[in-house]
Chains A and B, each alone.
Chain A
Amino acid sequence: MAGFLLRRLVNYAVLIAVATSLAYILAALALDPRSNYEGRSPRPPAAVIDAQLSLYNLNDHTPLIQRYLRWAGDVARGDLGRTWNGDRVDAELRRRLGVTARLILLGLVIGGVAGVLIGALAAVRQYGWFDRLSTVTAFLVLAIPTVVLANMLIIAAVWLNDHLGVQVFLVSGEETPGLEGGVGADVLDRVKHLALPTLSLAVGQIAVYSRYQRNMMLDVMDADFVRTAMAKGLRRRTALVKHALRTALIPAVTYFAFTFGSLLVGATITESVFGWHGMGEELVASIRSNDVNMVAAISCFAALAVLTASLASDVLQAVLDPRVRVG
Chain B
Amino acid sequence: MTTGTATGTATGTAPVLEVRDLEVRFGDVPVVRGVGYTVEPGEVLGVVGESGAGKSVASLAVMGLLPRHAKVSGSVLLHGRELLGAPEKELAAVRGDTMSMIFQDPLSALTPVYRVGDQLAEAVRVHQRVSRERAAERAVELLDLVGIPNPRQRARAFPHEFSGGMRQRAMIAMAIANDPDVIICDEPTTALDVTIQAQVLEVLKSARRETGAAIVLITHDLGVVAGIADRVLVMYAGRGVEAGTVRDVYHRSRMPYTIGLLGSVPRLDAGRDVPLVPIDGSPPSAAALPPGCPFEPRCPMAIPACARAEPPLAEVAPGHSAACVRSGEIGEPRPVPPEDVPTAAAGAYPGVPPPRPREGRAVVLEVDGLVKHHPLTKGAVFRRRVGTVHAVDGVSFDIREGETLGLVGESGCGKTTALMEILELARPERGRVVVFGRDTAALTPHDRLAVRRHLQVVFQDPLASLDPRMTVHDIVGEPLVTHGYTDTGPRVRRLLRLVGLEPAHAARYPQDFSGGQRQRIAVARALALEPKLIVLDEPVSALDVSIQAGVINLLAGLADRLGLSYLFVAHDLAVVRHIAHRVAVMYLGRIAEIGGADQVYGAPMHPYTQALLSAVPIPDPDKERRRRRILLDGDLPSPADPPSGCRFRTRCPKFKVLTDAQRVRCVEEEPAVRPLEGDHGASCHYAEKLGVV
Contact = CB atoms under 8 A, between A and B. Distances in A.
Interface string A240-262: 00010011001000000000000
Interface in B93-128: 93-97, 100-101, 103, 105, 108-115, 122-123, 126-127
A224 interface: yes
Nearest to A222: B67
Interface string A297-327: 0000000000000000000000011110001
A163 interface: no
A152 interface: no
Nearest to A221: B67
A223 interface: yes
Contact of A246 (B65, B89, B113): B113
B92 interface: yes
Interface string B56-96: 00001001010100000000000000000000110011111
Contact of A231 (B63, B88, B127): B63
Residue of A236, A320, A322 ringed by the most chain B CB atoms within 10 A: A322
B399 interface: no
Contacts of B160: 322-323
Contacts of A225: 108-112
Contacts, number: 81
Contacts of B103: 224, 227-228, 231
- Which of A229, A230, A232 is most buried by chain B, counting CB atoms within 10 A of its CB? A232
A231 B96 contact: yes
A46 interface: no
B92 to A, nearest CB: 5
B174 interface: yes
Contact of B113 (A229, A230, A233, A247): A247
A51 interface: no
A243 B93 contact: no
A243 B126 CA distance: 14
B692 to A, nearest CB: 35
B65 A232 contact: no
Contacts of B378: 327
Given A225-B108, A232-B174, A233-B126, A250 B93 contact: no
A230 B65 contact: yes
B112 A322 contact: yes
B158 interface: yes
B65 A233 contact: no
A95 interface: no
Interface residues of A, number: 24
A246 B660 CA distance: 52
Nearest to A223: B108
Contacts of A236: 88
Interface string B152-186: 00000010100000000001001001100000000
Contacts of B114: 243
Interface centre among A11, A233, A243 (most CB of B within 10 A): A233
A250 B113 CA distance: 10
A232 B113 contact: no
A322 B103 CA distance: 23
B285 to A, nearest CB: 22
A307 B63 CA distance: 49
B105 A232 contact: no
A298 B497 CA distance: 74
A221 B577 CA distance: 43
A232 B100 contact: yes
Interface in B344-381: 378, 381
A327 B114 CA distance: 19
A234 B100 CA distance: 12
B191 to A, nearest CB: 11
Interface of A: 11, 222-225, 227-236, 243, 246-247, 250, 320-323, 327
Which 7 pairs, one residue from A and one from B, show the smallest C-beta to C-beta distance? A233-B96, A232-B96, A224-B108, A232-B123, A233-B126, A225-B111, A322-B158
Given A225-B110, A233-B92, A250-B113, 19 more contacts: A223-B108, A224-B105, A227-B60, A228-B109, A228-B171, A228-B174, A232-B126, A233-B94, A233-B96, A233-B126, A235-B88, A236-B88, A243-B111, A246-B111, A246-B113, A247-B112, A320-B113, A321-B112, A322-B113
22 contacts: A11-B381, A222-B67, A227-B109, A228-B171, A229-B122, A230-B65, A230-B92, A230-B95, A231-B63, A231-B65, A232-B122, A232-B174, A233-B94, A235-B89, A235-B92, A236-B88, A243-B111, A243-B114, A246-B111, A322-B112, A322-B160, A323-B112
